[in-house]
């Protein structure tokens, strides 16, 4: 039992997490593999505990950003593939074998280096090849992809088990995204072989890119955590996604100033509350919306509690979540802090307690 009461904390509702995965899976055609993206500590939702729920919800494969994250997944899950999405450093390459991870390969030279390491170990290493269809960051540039993939296929100790691409702006630019989809399909048509995983969808792409052949897997991040990438609903309403993360704090002092009751809340930018709120920003106290006023400091921020006259020192303050029938969504909070929802989720530091439900 912790003798320190919670001052600022997040609550993670794992029942909802599992429900979201089930709801997303229910919309996918039979046989499509569900790749659960659990990078960055499961988007700040406590990866080790979240993994169990993703498994129960039906995740087939996990995706992480790097080998440290892959090693953490391996402590819990031994029998599912773990794809490392970001490029792997030369000195990290042996860890791919140690943790039985699936590397995302972005060049012939990288594939060749892996092939040599596999040969030394008497193995054939399965890799996914990443195609750059317009993100312009990592992957085999699409114009050279047919030739490079052909060369990789000739490497004796490498087996291509998947081909994928990442969409650069699925949530904001549909035309550009559809061009990426077309380019990718063309490459898949020329290079895919039976048994390969072909994947492109992130959360936002589910809105308008049909999950149909050649695609046989999807990579789900944001929506598993119950957040819709679209403010207008975007057709995701029917999934009935439930937000998983709440962010709460407490009033630690109350003062009067120029006829207003101001409360000091014990969460500042040291707790992930950013210093630049828009004027609409508010929190919930006693189920009432109370505006954030003045500057945010490292340990505290100030709210006006005129709307909640019953408020007392020690009362709960909700930045994200539900209280007495009222709600502030993670998307609202993100808009008020000029962040995207992905940033909000990963920006709450360890100083803030974790309550896992
Ligand atoms: C993070 C990531 C995803 C998940 O994206 P969401 O928008 O959160 O669903 C999918 N694919 C790749 C390559 C990623 O890096």
Shortest-distance atom of ligand 1 to CA 43: 8
Measured distance CA(93)–CA(102) in Å, rounded: 11
Å from CA of 215 to ligand 1 middle? 16
Residue at a domain's end among 197, 229, 261: 229
Average pLDDT over residues 225-243: 93
Q: Is residue 201 situated within a structural domain?
A: yes
Report residue 229's pLDDT band, with 50, 70 and 90 as the boundaries: very high
Neighbours of 233 (CB within 10 A): 10
Residue at a domain's end among 186, 203, 229: 229
Measured distance CA(198)–CA(15) in Å, rounded: 30
Nearest to 344 by CA among 354, 353, 327, 331: 331
Å from CA of 199 to ligand 1 middle? 11
Average pLDDT over residues 205-233: 96
Report residue 136's pLDDT band, with 50, 70 and 90 as the boundaries: confident
Tokens of 152: 């990789």
Q: Is residue 13 situated within a structural domain?
A: no
Claim to verify: residue 212 and residue 349 sit in the same structural domain? no
Claim to verify: residue 190 and residue 269 sit in the same structural domain? no
The domain that contains 184 carries what CATH number? Answer: 3.20.20.10
Neighbours of 157 (CB within 10 A): 18
Judge whether residue 1 has pLDDT over 80: no
Q: Is residue 16 situated within a structural domain?
A: no
Check residue 2 and give its pLDDT.
Answer: 73
Average pLDDT over residues 37-48: 97
Å from CA of 342 to ligand 1 middle? 10
Claim to verify: residue 122 and residue 184 sit in the same structural domain? yes
Check residue 137 and give its pLDDT.
Answer: 82
Could you list the beta-strand ranges (E) of 154-244. Answer: 158-165, 197-199, 217-220
Å from CA of 219 to ligand 1 middle? 6
Q: Do 101 and 82 meet the contact criterion of CB atoms below 8 Å apart?
A: yes
Check residue 37 and give its pLDDT.
Answer: 98
Q: Is residue 62 situated within a structural domain?
A: yes
Ligand 1 pocket: which residues have CB below 6 Å?
37, 39, 85, 166, 202-204, 219-222
Q: Which range, of 15-24, 127-136, 144-153, 240-249, averages the lowest pLDDT?
A: 127-136
Q: Do 145 and 185 meet the contact criterion of CB atoms below 8 Å apart?
A: no
What percent of the chain clears pLDDT 70, i.e. is strictly above it? 100
Claim to verify: residue 72 and residue 177 sit in the same structural domain? yes
More confident residue, 135 or 64: 64
Claim to verify: residue 192 and residue 53 sit in the same structural domain? yes
| Number of domains, the chain | 2
Average pLDDT over residues 171-192: 96
Residues 6+ apart with CB under 8 A from 128: 83, 102, 103, 104, 105, 160, 161, 162, 163, 164, 197
Measured distance CA(243)–CA(344) in Å, rounded: 13
pLDDT one-digit tens code per residue, 300-331: 999 999 999 999 999 999 999 999 999 999 99
Claim to verify: residue 46 and residue 183 sit in the same structural domain? yes
Claim to verify: residue 250 and residue 175 sit in the same structural domain? no
Check residue 135 and give its pLDDT.
Answer: 82
Judge whether residue 276 has pLDDT over 90: no
> Residue 108 is part of which domain span?
31-229
Containing 240, the helix (H) or strand (E) segment is: none
Residue at a domain's end among 175, 202, 229: 229
pTM for this prediction: 0.96
């Amino acid at each position: 039992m912790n003798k320190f009461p919670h001052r600022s904390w997040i609550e993670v509702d794992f029942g909802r997490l599992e429900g979201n995965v089930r709801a997303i899976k229910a919309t996918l055609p039979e046989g499509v593999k569900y790749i659960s993206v659990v990078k960055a500590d499961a988007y700040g939702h406590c990866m080790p505990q979240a993994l169990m729920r993703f498994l129960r919800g039906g995740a087939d494969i996990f995706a992480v950003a790097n080998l440290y994250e892959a090693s953490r997944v391996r402590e819990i899950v031994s029998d599912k593939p773990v794809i490392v999405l970001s490029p792997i450093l030369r000195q990290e390459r042996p860890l791919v074998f140690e943790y039985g991870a699936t590397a995302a390969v972005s060049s012939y030279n990288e594939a060749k280096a892996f092939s040599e390491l596999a040969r030394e170990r008497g193995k054939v290493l399965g890799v996914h090849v990443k195609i750059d269809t317009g993100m312009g960051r990592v992957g085999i540039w699409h114009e050279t992809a047919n030739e490079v993939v052909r060369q990789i296929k000739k490497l004796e100790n490498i087996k291509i088990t998947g081909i994928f691409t990442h969409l650069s702006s699925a949530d904001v630019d549909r035309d550009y995204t559809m061009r990426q989809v077309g380019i990718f399909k063309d490459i898949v048509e020329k290079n895919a072989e039976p048994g390969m995983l072909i994947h492109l969808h992130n959360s936002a792409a589910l809105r308008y890119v049909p999950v149909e052949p050649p695609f046989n897997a999807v990579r789900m991040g944001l929506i598993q955590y119950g957040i819709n990438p679209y403010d207008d609903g975007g057709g995701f309403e029917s999934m009935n996604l439930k937000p998983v993360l709440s962010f709460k704090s407490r009033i630690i002092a109350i003062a009067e100033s120029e006829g207003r009751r101001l409360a000091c809340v014990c969460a500042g930018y040291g707790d992930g509350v950013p210093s630049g709120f828009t004027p609409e920003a508010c929190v919930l106290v006693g189920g009432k919306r109370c505006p954030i006023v003045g500057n945010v400091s490292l340990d505290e921020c100030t709210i006006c509690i005129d709307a909640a006259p019953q408020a007392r020192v020690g009362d709960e303050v909700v930045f994200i979540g539900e209280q007495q029938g009222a709600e502030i969504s993670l998307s609202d909070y993100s808009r008020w802090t000029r962040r995207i929802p992905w940033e909000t989720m990963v920006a709450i530091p360890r100083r803030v307690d974790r309550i896992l439900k």
